[in-house]
Amino acid sequence: MCGIIGYAGSGGDSDTLEVLLHGLGNLEYRGYDSAGVAVANASLSIEKRGGELSELKDALAGNADGFDGSTGIGHTRWSTHGPPTDANAHPHTNAEESVAIVHNGIIENYLELREELSEAGHTFRSDTDTEVVPHLIERERAGGADRETAFREAIGRLEGSYAIAAVYPDCETVFAARHESPLVLGLGSDGNYLASDVPAFIEFTNRVVYLDDGEFAALSPESVTVSDGSGAPIKKSVETIAWDPEDAGKSGYDHYMRKEIAEQPRAIRDCLRGRIEELGGTVTLPELEGLETPSSVQFVACGTSYHAGLYGERLLQRRGIPTQTFIASEYDAARLPVDESTLVVGVTQSGETADTMAALRSANRAGATTLALTNVVESSAARECDHVLYIRSGPEISVAATKSFASQQVSLSLLATALVDSASSAAFPPREYLRELRRLPDHIQSVLDDSRADAVAEEFLDADAYFFIGRGYNAPVALEGALKLKEITYKHAEGFPAGELKHGPLALVTESTPVFALVSSREQAGATIGNIKEVQARDAPVVAVTDDPESVANHTDYVLEIPETHPAVMPIVANVQLQLVAYWLANALDRPIDKPRNLAKSVTVQ
């Protein structure tokens, strides 16, 4: 959600605009509806446009004069305050254009500040909350403050969340600050970078510094300094990112989503590597050393990660640990039984999801032990929680999560096994269960090689709505299947536990409502087949996703087969078929699969 790129370069003035546009292109996956850049030289050269990045590039193609400074900032905006117009696009300036600002997050007291500044004679040209910042800086400058002091004083007036970067005319420094919105610095050989996410500059450098809340940064072509709110310098560690720039490319696929679906066998191998000992039936997670078996577990998450949490909840409950899953925006630890023996797990691909971060902070205040289950090293969640377990899925560019969901499911399987001594568990005999986890990549590869999901998608292209049902471990994947389809096709879809069909949703079932049923040969198959018969009696077509095609062949119109495996592992494999159905349906409808309307990859506002 929104993207920032900044650059202070030593490689030649003509490189700056190219670096900014390239960075914005790499950040398109985050979701946006307008874009803009500002380059500092003797004055500020600014261009911004509502719409896609291509519109900004078209505008610059005929008017790039003046964009030859060595320092600049760029932004892709996801609208919160005001529609996606040229005026509301970032960067924002004061009337004299003596400073330009880009901002991610929400300034909660902007109306109060805007009224204060308007009464002092400042004129505003946009609907955004961000525009108060350059006017605050202008007022500090008019009072005699230098550039850095004016920036700090302005930031000190803000309430809410922000990652902010600023440039001035006749100045080769980019000034930046963060609070509850991600910002990372890149240390390059031909200049220095800042961005809301590493992919913005990964082609130029893999040496990064992560800013923490309340920290300020100043980037020049030759140096980077980080300081606290009082200006005292802070010594930061430099991390080396292991991602290869080519990992963020499409590798010949038409869409990132299709590529990332195909990457799931590799992602799961990376997730499992070094963590399981199949012969002894043990899981080793050194990063969780010292974490004792909790009295209870609470998952907090949003969207796809919430569905992963529901899956993890079932794994832990079957192992005897009381577990609940909460939509993060609804979580308040002060209202719940939470103490030091409670483990609160934040499931978040980016590690920056604002609602999940707020829930984790609530849990920390209540004294709970917190664990981040995340994909991004040194993300906010990773740094603020007591423990972190990385899912190791690699960069995921498409807004619709695919391989990260699979890696979250596998990571939760490992976590549940590590937390509980399952040696005597009939439901999870350790050697069998870990063997099936090890076989997962091969099982998923067989689905990728043999799936008929494209033909099923073509058959139901004109359906009125799509229902997804499953029981037990499969119920969360039914929810995820519906979410994936609605995200990228814009078609109505619902997912729910199979038993809920007769408690309301059955009223909506017609011959134009295909029902996708997840049926496990070893987990309540008979009950789910009963639900299938209920919809068939209403003339609804049924697609079974199953490891036992013979048991459902007489009750369904189509079968999407998966290899037989442990019932707790089956949903990870079955979900791949549902991902492919959603993908091929969206492809046939010519939807913008990687960048669905109104959605963002990393949601950093509440």
Instruction: Give dist(CA 455, CA 443) in Å, integer.
Output: 21
Give the residue from 512, 518, 541 showing the smallest Cα distance to 469: 518
Contact 107, 130 (CB under 8 A): yes
On the CB side of 392, how many CA atoms lie within 13 Å of its CA? Answer: 15
Residue 263 tokens read as 């990457």
Strands 323-327 and 296-301: parallel
Phi, psi (deg, nearest 5) at residue 559:
-125, 125
Question: CA angle at residue 152 from 146 to 155, to 5 degrees?
Answer: 140
What is the Cα 41 distance to its own chain's centre?
Answer: 35
Q: Where are the strands (E) in 274-377, listed by range? A: 276-277, 282-283, 296-301, 323-327, 342-348, 369-374
* Alpha-carbon distance values, 348 to 314, 363, 517, 551 (Å): 18, 15, 27, 37
What is the Cα 351 distance to its own chain's centre?
Answer: 8
364 φψ region: left (φ > 0), alpha (ψ -120 to 50), beta (else): alpha
- Catalytic: which of 484, 486, 491, 601? 601
On the CB side of 306, how many CA atoms lie within 13 Å of its CA? Answer: 18
Give the residue from 184, 164, 181, 219 showing the smallest Cα distance to 26: 184
- Amino acid identity for residue 528 in this structure: T
Instruction: Give dist(CA 374, CA 114) in Å, integer.
Output: 37
Contact 91, 71 (CB under 8 A): no
In the residue annotation, 2 being an active-site residue is answered as: yes
Give the residue from 173, 177, 181, 154 showing the smallest Cα distance to 164: 177
**Which residue in the block uniquely carries the two structure tokens 């309301």?**
504
Give the residue from 359, 312, 6 showing the smallest Cα distance to 165: 6
- Amino acid identity for residue 35 in this structure: A
In the residue annotation, 601 being an active-site residue is answered as: yes
Instruction: Give dist(CA 353, CA 237) in Å, integer.
Output: 24
Torsion angle of alpha carbons 205, 207, 212, 218, nearest 10°?
Answer: -60
Residue 259 tokens read as 């590529």
Contact 167, 38 (CB under 8 A): yes
Provide CB contacts within 8 A for 78, sequence distance 6+: 1, 2, 30, 31, 32, 33, 600
Cβ count within 10 A of residue 109? 14
Residue 385 tokens read as 């929680």
- Catalytic: which of 2, 171, 271, 302? 2
Residue 382 tokens read as 């990773």
Active site residues: 2, 601
